[in-house]
């Protein structure tokens, strides 16, 4: 098996397992599906975090209006009484006015927050140094954990306009959002190896060689973004180790230079006539007036 370390620009994303016989087209589609799936989980986790704090999303006709404007226009949220979290709620007003302020109680908050933590851990970038590969099955399991938590807290389902439900049903509209810029189209996506674009009509073996058990770095990009920067010769850890080695070498040279100093010749133990004077009793003699000789 070939282990592909997928990067987006210089940022590590995940490890993916493939074979030499796999076509580049299939490899790109698989990698993009996982990449976009991880983005979906991150978006859902962000929204569930807000759901746990401030309740369900207001419908589009109320979203962004102040309470005074809602009362003046006599608008009513038809889902406010339908979508009450299990166990009741406490009021916690949303400062940006997106959600209705009906926060689930503590035990239900814990259910949602635990699901968020579990899902994020399953797709974490920290799995790369641990050597754990990412698959679409893992991405789907993380989404199922989030769905299960929502079903526990809101068994009647969230309103159809709530972005969390739309994400689960794959009908989300990211137009005009920052998230839309992060998503990569599988049709136009590009994969790069050793600074060269991998063409879809070729196989993995055409680029990485015939050694089946290997680990390679490939970079994912959007069409038109140009070739990504090549990998540095040394990573941060290797550069750090090299600098430490150079410092230790420098300190050793300083010590060796100090050892070449001949000032020790002025020391008493280096005096060649000290033994002769000792035999003649001429040591520790002071010639200053008024001082007795020992």
Q: What is the pLDDT of residues 124-167, one digit of tens each?
A: 999 999 999 999 999 999 999 999 999 999 999 999 999 999 99
Residue 41, in any domain of the structure: yes
Do 278 and 206 share a domain, yes or no? no
Residue 226 lies in a domain: no
Average pLDDT of 71-89?
Answer: 88
Sheet bearing 190-193, strands edge to edge = 11-18, 2-8, 214-221, 190-193, 196-197
What does the pLDDT read at residue 62?
86
In a domain? residue 128: yes
CA angle 75, 157, 177 (to 5 degrees): 70
Question: What range does the domain containing 273 cover?
Answer: 231-294
Asked whether residue 120 falls in the same domain as residue 242, the answer is no
Q: Which of 221, 246, 281 is the C-terminal boundary of a domain?
A: 221
140 with 262, same domain? no
The yes-or-no verdict on residue 280 having pLDDT over 80 is: no
Check whether 293 has a pLDDT greater than 80.
Answer: no
Q: Which residues pair with 207 in a beta bridge?
A: none
Q: Is residue 30 part of a domain?
A: yes
Q: Assess whether 209 and 266 both reside in one domain.
A: no
CB 161 within 8 A of CB 58: no
- What pLDDT band is residue 237 in, cutting at 50, 70 and 90? confident
Residue 238 lies in a domain: yes
Average of per-residue pLDDT values in the chain: 87
- Which tokens hold the place of 87? 């166990």
Of the two residues 34 and 236, the one the predictor is more confident about is 34
Number of domains in the chain: 2
Residue at 8 is within a domain: yes
Q: Give the C-alpha distances (Å, rounded to integers) separating 289 from 277, 281, 283, 292, 293.
A: 21, 20, 17, 8, 10
CA distance 48 to 42: 10
User: Is 58 in contact with 77 (CB distance < 8 Å)?
Assistant: yes
Kindly compute the dihedral angle of the four CA atoms of residues 214, 219, 220, 224, in this order, to the nearest 10 degrees. -140
Sort 104 into a burial class: Cβ within 10 Å, 0-12 / 13-18 / 19+: buried
Our measurement of the distance from residue 286's CA atom to the centroid of its chain's CA atoms, rounded to an integer in Å, reads 76
Beta strands in 92-213 (DSSP E): 102-104, 190-193, 196-197
Same domain, 253 and 162: no
Higher pLDDT, 293 or 24: 24
Question: Is residue 213 domain-shared with residue 287, that is, in the same domain?
Answer: no
| Same-domain check for residues 37 and 72 | yes
Residue 12 and residue 145 in one domain: yes
Statement to judge: residues 159 and 262 lie in one domain: no
- Digit-coded pLDDT (tens) for 6-62: 998 888 999 999 999 999 999 999 999 999 999 999 999 999 999 999 999 999 888
Q: What is the pLDDT of residues 47-79, one digit of tens each?
A: 999 999 999 999 988 887 777 888 888 888 888
Is 128 found in the same domain as 28? yes
In angstroms, the CA 97 to CA 103 distance is 14
Check whether residue 191 and residue 263 sit in a common domain. no
Count of all residues that appear for the chain in the document: 294
Q: Is 66 in the same domain as 170?
A: yes
Is residue 72 one of the residues assigned to a domain?
yes
Q: Can you give the three-state secondary structure of 236-282, one letter per residue?
A: HHHHHHHHHHHHHHHHHHHHHHHHCCCHHHHCHHHCCCHHHHHHCCC
* 31 lies in some domain: yes
pLDDT of amino acid 294:
47
């Amino acid at each position: 098996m070939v282990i592909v370390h997928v990067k987006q620009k210089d940022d590590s994303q995940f490890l993916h397992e493939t074979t030499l016989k796999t076509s580049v087209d299939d490899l790109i589609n698989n990698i993009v599906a996982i990449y976009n799936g991880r983005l979906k989980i991150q978006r859902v986790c962000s929204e569930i975090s807000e759901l746990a704090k401030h309740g369900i999303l207001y419908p589009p006709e109320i979203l962004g209006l102040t309470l005074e404007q809602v009362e003046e226009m006599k608008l009513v949220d038809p889902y406010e009484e339908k979508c009450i979290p299990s166990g009741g709620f406490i009021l916690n007003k949303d400062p940006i006015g997106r959600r209705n302020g009906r926060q689930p109680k503590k035990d239900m908050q814990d259910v949602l927050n635990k699901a968020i933590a579990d899902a994020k851990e399953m797709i974490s970038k920290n799995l790369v140094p641990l050597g754990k590969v990412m698959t679409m099955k893992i991405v789907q399991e993380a989404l199922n954990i989030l769905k299960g938590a929502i079903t526990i807290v809101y068994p009647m389902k969230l309103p159809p306009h709530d972005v969390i439900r739309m994400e689960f049903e794959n009908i989300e509209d990211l137009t005009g959002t920052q998230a839309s810029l992060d998503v990569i189209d599988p049709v136009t996506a590009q994969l790069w190896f050793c600074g060269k674009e991998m063409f879809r009509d070729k196989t993995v073996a055409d680029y990485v060689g015939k050694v089946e058990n290997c680990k390679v770095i490939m970079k994912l990009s959007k069409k038109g973004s140009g070739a990504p920067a090549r990998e540095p010769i040394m990573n941060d850890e290797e550069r750090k180790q090299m600098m430490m080695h150079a410092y230790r070498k420098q300190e050793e040279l300083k010590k060796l230079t100090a050892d070449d100093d001949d000032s020790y010749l002025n020391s008493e133990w280096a005096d060649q006539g000290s033994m002769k004077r000792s035999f003649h009793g001429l040591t520790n003699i002071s010639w200053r007036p008024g001082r007795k000789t020992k």
